[in-house]
Structure 1
Amino acid sequence: AVQADKRATLDLALDHLLAQAPARPVPEAIALPAASPFGSLQIDTGKCTMCLSCVGACPESALGDNPERPQLRFTEKNCVQCGLCVVTCPEDALALAPRLWLADSGKARKQPRVLHEMQPWACVKCGKPFGTQKAIEGMLTKLAGHSMFQGAALERLKMCGDCRVIDLHTNPNEVKITDL
C-alpha cells in the first residue's frame, strides 16, 4: 500500500510493524540522533508568551493554534525537525527533540496535542478575549516608558482591535492631522 507521500508510507509501515509486534512491551519512544526528520518539540512555558510566530513558520503544519482559546498544538507525525519554529521564536522557548514516538500504537503521534495554553486577555471595553495575559502585560511593561504610549494610548493596548479603533475615532481630545 505504497502512498505518494513518503511519510504516509512510513506511517503505514510503522503501524503494520507495531500491530505485528510480539506481545511484549513496546517502548513509548525511541530516541533518534540530532538532525533526524522525526521528533517532538520541547517548550519552556515560562518563556513562551503564545505569540504563535512558530505556527506561521512551520512549513508542515505540525504546529497549530486553537481559534477558540490561546493554545499551541503540535502534531508529531507532521514534524520534519527543520527547526524553523525554533529559530523564529522571539522568546527562545522552543527546542527540537528528535525521537520516534510509538505510544498508543503510534496513534498518539497522529493527533494534535496541546503543548501550551494560557488565559486570554479580556478587552477592558467589551470583555472580548484576545491575546494572552502574559503577552499583553509584557507589552504594557515594555511600552510604559515610551513617549507614544502614555495615558489613553497605553490604555488602548488593553483593548481588542475593534474597541481600539472606536476609541481612537471617538475621543474628543485626540489630536487630528487637520489640527496641526
Structure 2
Amino acid sequence: PDILNATYLLTLLQESGAPIVLYSTLGEHTHNDIATLNEIYQRIFRQNAIIGSTDSKAIEALQPLMQSHYIYTPTNKENSKDIFSARISFWIKQESYGKIAMNNSGFLHIDTAKCTLCLSCVEACNANALINNNASFELLYKASLCTDCGYCVASCAENVLNLESHTLLLEPHSFEYVSIAVDEPFRCVECNKIFATHKSISKIKNMLTPVFAGNALKLKTLECCADCKVKVMFEGAH
C-alpha cells in the first residue's frame, strides 16, 4: 500500500469517479498525501475522497464522485509529478482554490529586478519546473512541477530565489509556464552578435569598471563576445 502516493491515489479517484476506502495501515508519507487530496476535494467538491475503514458512518454514506471523473493517458516521457499536475489542472481551469500544504511541492519566489538570467537555476532544476525561452530571453516557471528540492536556490549566484516549501497553489497560473524574469539581449559591440543579457553585462561592468579604470581597451572587452574579446585584446597589444 505504500506505493499509493498522491499521483496513484488521484489516478484511482479520477478514473473510477468513486471514493476510496483504505483498509491497510499506511506509512506517514501516504497519510500526508491522503490529507492533501482530501483537502483538494474539499476545496473543489466539498467532500472527502479517501476514508479509513474504521469510519463506518462515512462508509455508509459513500456516493460516487462522478463530477470528479477524468480519464487521462500519460505519455512515456511524463513522470509522476507531470501526471499529477496534468490531472489537477483539469479541475482548476480558470478557478482559484487557494493554497494547500503538500509534501514534495514548493512555490518559488524571485526578485525579478536582480535576476540576470544566468540560467543556473534552469540547469539545477531536474523537474523542468524552470525552463528558459531563448527566443525572448525569459525565465519560465511552472509551479505545479516543483518538487521542493531547493537546488535552484542553492545554485543562484545572485541570491534572488526563495522557496516556499510544502506548498501547492490551486491557481490557474500554477499549472502553466509563466514568465518570472525577462531581459533584453545584449549584442557584441564588435560583431553585433547576441551573447548575453543587459543585466548580466551591467553587473560585470559595475564590478570591473573600477578595476579597469583608465584602460579603455579592457573596458571595451566587457562588451565583446568571447571571439571578439580575444581579437580586441590582440589588436590592442600591437
Same fold, judged at TM 0.5 (above): yes
Match of 1:40 among 100, 107, 116: 107
Partner of 2:84: 10
What stretches of structure 1 move > 4 A for 4+ residues in a row? 1-4
TM (norm. structure 2) is 0.57
Task: List gaps (5 residues or longer) in structure 1.
Answer: 20-24, 176-180
CA RMSD of aligned residues (A): 3.0
The alignment of Structure 1 onto Structure 2 pairs a total of residues equal to: 162
Residue 165 in 1 paired to residue 230 in 2?
Answer: yes
TM-superposed CA distance for 1:26, in Å, is: 4.9
2:132 match: 65
Relative distance call for 1:140 and 1:67 in structure 2 (3 A) is same
Structure 2: unaligned runs, 5 residues or longer: 1-10, 13-73
| 1:109 is aligned to 2:183 | no
Identity between Structure 1 and Structure 2 (%): 28
2:206 matched residue in structure 1: 141
Larger Rg over CA atoms: 2
Once the two structures are superposed, residues 69-119 of structure 1 have per-residue CA deviations (whole angstroms, 9 ceiling, x without a partner) of 321111223210111111221221111134323334xxx434321111012
Report what 2:237 is aligned to. Answer: 174
C-alpha change, 1:60 and 1:125, in structure 2 (3 Å) is same
Distance 1:138 1:14, change over 3 A: closer
Cα distance between partner residues in 2 of 1:149 and 1:71: 35
The structure, 1 or 2, with the larger RCO (C-alpha pairs under 8 Å, 6+ apart) is 1
Which sits farther off after the overlay, 117-126 or 5-14? 5-14
Cα gap change, 1:31 to 1:149, in 2 (>3 Å): farther
Residue 6 of structure 1 aligns with an amino acid whose one-letter code is: S
CA–CA separation in structure 2 for the residues paired with 1:53 and 1:163: 25
In structure 2, the residue matched to 1:55 is 122
